[in-house]
């Protein structure tokens, strides 16, 4: 704690994993040797850098850039880049730590890392976004590469930003190294189904959990928080499985549509116009079962639902929200975002018998499909949407079964948190053990 003073989210993520390890250490005491656990909690490398850029008024702006290369025992560091004003080293470390176990759970040869900046893209022009991305990559390019570290998108970083960063990487290195970044557009080396993968993957995971109880999404009321990349494609997949999505949000508030969210309109607002979610009400008109609640007037988790899919940001769902959801009859929850539920919320869900899918398992479909993008780049191939989605579905089923099986093996049936933490830990720990004291 002293070494990582003030990094609250990092403490939270580490504590959750360590709390799950008692049973695995009782069975395999060798994991206590050679400071293995201490090494797993310490990033291999942390890079913090200045990002200067010029805004549209000609003023010089300064932001701080980060790349935390957490663990490369299983493969090159892999994990997204986040642009959000809340970004600091503690947030990037928590994300990199989670990513290490998530990537291990996919069964693919990828280590864990994460990066970002406290840059706020909201309200910035195209030119400002491009100049920022170029400046960010001017430093980052020294530290990444197809065999070293392969970043992708995250909050505030989508296909547009990946394009500007890839362009600058190519220009600085004079190499067309397609596998250096994932989340690229299709016409220059991206993978089909990558955009959809995290939301689809979380939906597949929850579907597998529901199936263990003989249930499904069909006819269920669902609430999805956020309205970014993960949220939009969660809505799409849930609807295709027969679920009705009643509410979505952004940081200004939430929209309820009692008829079920209109996916076409949602995509138009968020992906084409890059506008606010309150525009949904403007487009639909008042008094047709559609209303907007401002963020300071209520929580999206007040909307009664059978399945909750938090897909915005860390600690967005509190203990009080969890109590409300349980009271309203929640059956299952899949974490689309990273660590969206507070530890108290998780405890409440588990005590109430809610099927709970932790992010490091449930949202692993994004990074798994990024690894499929790396495979396609390496073989200079391009797969169909159907082929790629079929791979994603198999990967998510395997992750589900691994978590459920590990929970059973360690005497905690149905505890997907414990299952994910132990299964991810064992994969990383075995590899580190084999590689000596590194």
Nearest Cα neighbor of 263 from 284, 237, 230, 236 is 236
Taking the CA atoms of the chain, what radius of gyration do you get in angstroms? Answer: 21
Quick check: 229 binds ligand NDP (CB under 6 A)?
yes
Using rule CB under 6 A, residue 312 touches ligand NDP = yes
Among 337, 354, 371, 407, binds ligand NDP (CB under 6 A): 337
* Ramachandran assignment for 218, one of left (phi > 0), alpha (psi -120 to 50 degrees), beta (any other): beta
**Which residues in the 241-270 window bind ligand NDP by CB under 6 A?**
250-252
Q: Is 58 labelled a binding residue?
A: no
Q: Does position 162 bind ligand NDP by CB under 6 A?
A: no
Among 151, 156, 243, 253, binds ligand NDP (CB under 6 A): 156
Asked if 208 and 392 count as a contact pair (C-beta separation under 8 A), the reply is no
Q: How far is CA 210 from CA 204, 322, 354, in A?
A: 10, 19, 10
Binding residue for ligand NDP, selected from 134, 138, 221, 227, defined by CB under 6 A: 227
Which residue from 63, 72, 311, 421 is in contact with ligand NDP, where contact means CB under 6 A? 311
Measured from the CB of residue 27, what is the shortest distance to ligand NDP in angstroms? 30
Residue 34 annotated as lining a ligand binding site: no
Q: Any binding-site annotation on 207?
A: no
Q: Cα 83 vs. chain centroid, distance in angstroms?
A: 14
Decide if residue 318 touches ligand NDP (CB under 6 A): no
Q: Closest distance between ligand NDP and the C-beta of residue 84, in Å?
A: 6
153 forms part of the interface with ligand NDP (CB under 6 A): yes
The residues facing 81 across adjacent strands are 115
Determine the residue with CB nearest ligand NDP.
228
Active site residue 170: no
Task: Give the residue, chosen from 230, 247, 293, 361, that forms a contact with ligand NDP under the rule CB under 6 A.
Answer: 230
DSSP per-residue codes, 389-426: HHHHHHHHHHHHHHHHHHHHHTT-TT-HHHHHHHHHHH
315 binds ligand NDP (CB under 6 A): no
Four-CA torsion 167, 90, 76, 98, nearest 10 degrees: -120
Q: Where are the alpha helices (DSSP H) in 44-158?
A: 89-105, 126-140
Question: Using CB under 6 A, which residues numbered 70 to 89 contact ligand NDP?
Answer: 84
Judged by CB under 6 A, the stretch of 30-38, 300-308, 334-342, 349-357 that binds ligand NDP is 334-342
Q: Is 78 annotated as a binding residue?
A: yes
Interface of this chain with ligand NDP, residues 361 to 420, rule: CB under 6 A: 363, 366
Tally of CB atoms within 10 A around 141: 17
- Residue 198 binding ligand NDP, by CB under 6 A: yes
Q: Check if the beta carbon of residue 129 is closer than 8 Å to that of residue 159.
A: no
Tell whether 153 is in a known binding site.
yes
> Residues 145, 438, 78, 116: is their CA dihedral positive or negative?
negative
CA neighbours within 13 Å on the CB side: how many for 372? 26
- 96 scored as a contact of ligand NDP (CB under 6 A): no
Q: How many residues bind ligand NDP (CB under 6 A)?
A: 24
Are 183 and 377 in contact by the 8 Å Cβ rule? The answer is: no
**What is the number of helices (H) and of strands (E) in the chain?**
16, 12
Catalytic residue, chosen from 114, 244, 284, 427, is: 114
Sole binder of ligand NDP in the list 116, 151, 226, 419 (CB under 6 A)? 226
Residues contributing to the site for ligand NDP (CB under 6 A) = 84, 153-156, 198, 226-231, 250-252, 311-313, 316, 336-338, 363, 366
Binding-site residues for substrate: 78, 99, 102, 153, 370
The residues carrying an active-site annotation are 114
């Amino acid at each position: 704690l002293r070494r990582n003073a003030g990094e609250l989210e990092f403490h939270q993520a580490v504590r959750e994993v360590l709390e799950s390890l008692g049973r695995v250490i009782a069975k395999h005491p060798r994991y206590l040797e050679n400071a293995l656990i201490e090494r797993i909690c310490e990033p291999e490398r942390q890079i913090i850098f200045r990002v200067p850029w010029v805004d549209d008024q000609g003023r010089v702006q300064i932001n701080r850039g980060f790349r935390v290369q957490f663990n490369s025992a299983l493969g090159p560091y892999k994990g997204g880049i986040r642009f959000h004003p809340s970004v600091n080293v503690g947030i990037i470390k928590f994300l990199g730590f989670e990513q290490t176990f998530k990537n291990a759970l996919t069964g693919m040869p990828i280590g864990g890392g994460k990066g970002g900046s406290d840059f706020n893209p909201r309200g910035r022009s195209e030119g400002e976004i491009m100049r920022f991305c170029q400046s960010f990559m001017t430093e980052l390019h020294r530290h990444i590469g197809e065999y070293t570290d392969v970043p992708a998108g995250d909050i505030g970083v989508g296909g547009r930003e990946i394009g500007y960063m890839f362009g600058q990487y190519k220009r600085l290195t004079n190499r067309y190294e397609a596998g250096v970044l994932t989340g690229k557009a299709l016409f220059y080396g991206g993978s089909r189904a990558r955009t959809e993968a995290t939301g689809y993957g979380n939906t597949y995971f929850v579907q597998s959990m529901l199936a263990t109880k003989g249930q499904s999404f069909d006819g269920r009321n669902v609430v999805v928080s956020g309205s970014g990349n993960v949220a939009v494609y969660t809505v799409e997949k849930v609807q295709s499985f027969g679920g009705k999505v009643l509410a979505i949000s952004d940081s200004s508030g939430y929209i309820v549509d009692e008829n079920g969210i209109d996916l076409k309109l949602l995509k138009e607002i968020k992906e084409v116009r890059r506008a606010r979610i309150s525009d949904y009400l403007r487009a639909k008109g008042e008094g047709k079962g559609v209303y907007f609640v401002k963020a300071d007037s209520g929580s999206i988790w007040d909307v009664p639902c059978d399945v909750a899919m938090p897909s915005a940001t860390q600690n967005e769902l509190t203990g009080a929200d969890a109590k409300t959801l349980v009271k309203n009859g929640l059956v299952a929850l899949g974490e689309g975002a990273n660590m969206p539920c507070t530890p108290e919320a998780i405890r409440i869900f588990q005590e109430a018998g809610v099927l709970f899918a932790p992010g490091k398992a449930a949202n692993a479909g994004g990074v798994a499909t990024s690894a499929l993008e790396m495979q396609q780049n390496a073989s200079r191939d391009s797969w169909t949407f159907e082929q790629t989605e079929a791979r994603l579905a198999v990967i998510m089923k395997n992750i589900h079964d691994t978590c459920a099986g590990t929970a059973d093996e360690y005497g905690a049936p149905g505890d997907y948190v414990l299952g994910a933490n132990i299964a991810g830990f064992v994969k990383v720990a075995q590899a580190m053990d084999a590689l000596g004291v590194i």
